[in-house]
Amino acid sequence: MRALDIAGTGMLAQQTNVEVISNNIANLSTTGYKRRRAEFQDLIYQNLRRVGSTSSETGTVLPSGAQVGLGVRTAAIYRISEQGNLSQTGNKFDLAIRGNGYFQITLPSGETAYTRDGTFGLSENGTLVTADGYAVQPGVTIPPAATDVTINANGEVLAKIDGQAQPQNVGQIQLANFANEAGLEAVGDNMYLASPAAGQPIAAAPGSPGMGQVMQGFVETSNVNVVQEITNLITAQRAYEMNSKVITASDEMMSTLTQMR
């Protein structure tokens, strides 16, 4: 019976759906996390009577035909890139992006990664780095004699030096943007890598056309809506149960056939 296989694909699809939802809920407090959404497609169809085929010698045509679907499959898991809330931390090296763009990070492998997580600090050399110690591009080094640091909305890093009336500009943070943000490859640790689907990175200063601004002393929170995720979880659970009932009903129908004499 086709119904057994069809319902099986439905259960597998809803299992994937629940896994995506559970990952969203698990990252409810992850800085800069973007929620995911599973998308599904129907599988191929078997034609019992092909639509549009002739049904008689006089040329009459079947108006609808008869097709039986073979189930569902996971087509994609999309990343929703809407802005998360900005949370004030009081740490002068914490940065949040209000608008489009990603911070550029140099990985130990030499590759450039991209992130919305602006939880930054200073290395032993005074270089601006991530929580894992990876340098933020382009390299910004705070002088040891600096008594205060201000990072304005355009990404300019201004250090207040004892004995100097005016703050010293020690660098400017650059942001990168992509034609298709959903095409970035997630590699964990709040990092993404560029891919052919995302397009070439476009780097510019914060506040430039198409780029967001940098907010000092803030971080961007996860954009997961827990109420929406719980609602989606209940819907997925009910769909899973309904597919399991189809398998139970199909099994009972087959049992009836085997008991006929």
Q: Give the bridge partners for 185, in sequence order.
A: 193
Q: What would the pLDDT profile of 16-29 be if each residue is shown by its tens digit?
A: 999 999 999 999 99
Number of C-alpha atoms within 13 angstroms, CB side, residue 224?
A: 24
Is the pLDDT at 200 greater than 90? The verdict is yes
Q: What percent of the chain has pLDDT over 70?
A: 100
Considering only CA atoms, which of 132, 165, 148, 37 is closest in space to residue 92? Answer: 148
Q: 35: which 2 tokens?
A: 């929620």
| Residue range 151-155: mean pLDDT, rounded | 92
Residue 102 to residue 38: CA distance in whole angstroms: 24
pLDDT at 232: 95
Q: What would the pLDDT profile of 141-152 be if each residue is shown by its tens digit?
A: 988 888 889 999
pLDDT at 7: 93
88 vs 261 pLDDT, higher one: 88
Write 132-137 long-range contacts (CB < 8 A, 24+). 132/189, 134/105, 134/106, 134/107, 134/108, 135/105, 135/106, 136/103, 136/104, 136/105, 136/106, 136/173, 137/104, 137/105, 137/106, 137/112, 137/174
Residue 130 to residue 140: CA distance in whole angstroms: 12
Number of C-alpha atoms within 13 angstroms, CB side, residue 68?
A: 8
pLDDT at 261: 66
Helices (H) and strands (E) in the chain, counts: 2, 19
Domain ranges of the chain: 2-81+224-258, 86-220
Q: CB 113: neighbour CB atoms within 10 A?
A: 23
Angle at 187 between CA 75 and CA 204, to 5 degrees: 100
pLDDT at 88: 93
Q: CB 141: neighbour CB atoms within 10 A?
A: 16
| Residue range 223-242: mean pLDDT, rounded | 95
Question: Does residue 95 contact residue 215 with C-beta atoms inside 8 Å?
Answer: yes
Q: What would the pLDDT profile of 21-73 be if each residue is shown by its tens digit?
A: 999 999 999 999 999 999 999 998 888 888 778 777 777 887 877 878 899 99
DSSP 35: -
Q: What is the pTM of this model?
A: 0.84
Q: What would the pLDDT profile of 121-146 be if each residue is shown by its tens digit?
A: 998 988 999 999 999 988 889 888 88
Residue 171 to residue 151: CA distance in whole angstroms: 10
Q: 48: which 2 tokens?
A: 């019992």
pLDDT at 90: 85
Q: What percent of the chain has pLDDT over 90?
A: 68
Per-residue pLDDT band for 196 (boundaries 50, 70, 90) equals very high
Q: 104: which 2 tokens?
A: 């550029």
SS3 23: helix
Q: What would the pLDDT profile of 92-117 be if each residue is shown by its tens digit?
A: 999 999 999 999 999 999 999 999 99
Lowest mean per-residue pLDDT among 63-67, 151-155, 186-190? 63-67
